Amino acid sequence: MENTTKITAACVIENGKVYVNSKLDFAAEGSATSLDFLKAAYTHYQLNYPKFYKMDSLCKLAMVASELLMRTNRINEKYASEAIALIIANGASSLEIDTEHQVSIADEANFFPSPAVFVYTLPNILIGEIAIRNKIKGENTFFIFDTFDEDFIHSYTDSLMNNDKAKCVIAGWVDFYEDKYRAFLYTVERTNEGEAHTTTNINKLIDNKLNFERN
């Protein structure tokens, strides 16, 4: 159906696996740490973005997920930079890198706070990194939930699109804390192709069970 919002692409990263449009695309389950896995994914996909190595783990995760999403669905070739919105959430904010900053200030005798660390102590920096990499300038908001609130994100995404605040929304979840991580990002557009943008289908894409092949 035309003129309804559709889920047009998705990337899920969890448990040492990368899924693109619900299909397993890369696995490095033997990675010693979550960070090792992200570096392995970076190399595997030849992301070729040296800035990646400067980023904190949360942004590295966001970068891999967003790169694969954008390779699958080149929305930045379809829409003006200000027409794409980024609506992303997580549970642990930036606590992973916050802990690193805290360690650097905990001991008076060994006091070494660093701007290169501190700049990442905000969760929306990952939105900034995705925006810079892909020249996205539209609406952007970072939410914190205990668990992903698909009802809210679904209705807010539709509201942005229905009220002409965005023509395309990148929505999802990017979380990294204490060596646990999970990311899923998906694109929502108004188009004939893709799966209906419903909370049921959002939950399916999170579980890698949304069928993107029908179109």
**What residues between 159 and 198 interact with another protein by CB under 8 A?**
159, 162-163, 165
| Amino acid (one-letter) located at 179 | D
Minimal distance, residue 45 CB to another protein, in Å = 22
Q: How far is CA 158 from CA 50, 93, 108, 144, 153, in A?
A: 35, 24, 50, 19, 8
What's the rounded Cα separation, in Å, for the pair 210 and 187? 13
Q: Does 4 bind another protein (CB under 8 A)?
A: no
For another protein, which stretch binds (CB under 8 A), given 12-20, 32-40, 62-70, 138-146?
Answer: 138-146
Q: Give residue 134's identity as a one-letter amino acid code.
A: N
Confirm or reject binding of residue 146 to another protein (CB under 8 A).
Answer: yes
Q: Give yes or no for residue 207 binding another protein (CB under 8 A).
A: no
- Chain-centroid distance of CA 187 in Å reads 10
Kindly state whether residue 136 participates in binding another protein, applying the rule CB under 8 A.
yes
- CA–CA dist 43, 163 (Å, integer): 40
50 contributes a contact to another protein by CB under 8 A:
no
Applying CB under 8 A, among 114, 192, 211, 215 the residue interacting with another protein is: 114
Q: How far is CA 34 from CA 83, 164, 195, in A?
A: 33, 39, 31
Residues of this chain that interact with another protein (CB under 8 A) are 81-82, 86, 91-93, 95, 98-99, 101-102, 104-106, 108, 111, 113-115, 118-119, 121-125, 127-129, 131-132, 134-146, 149, 152, 155-156, 159, 162-163, 165
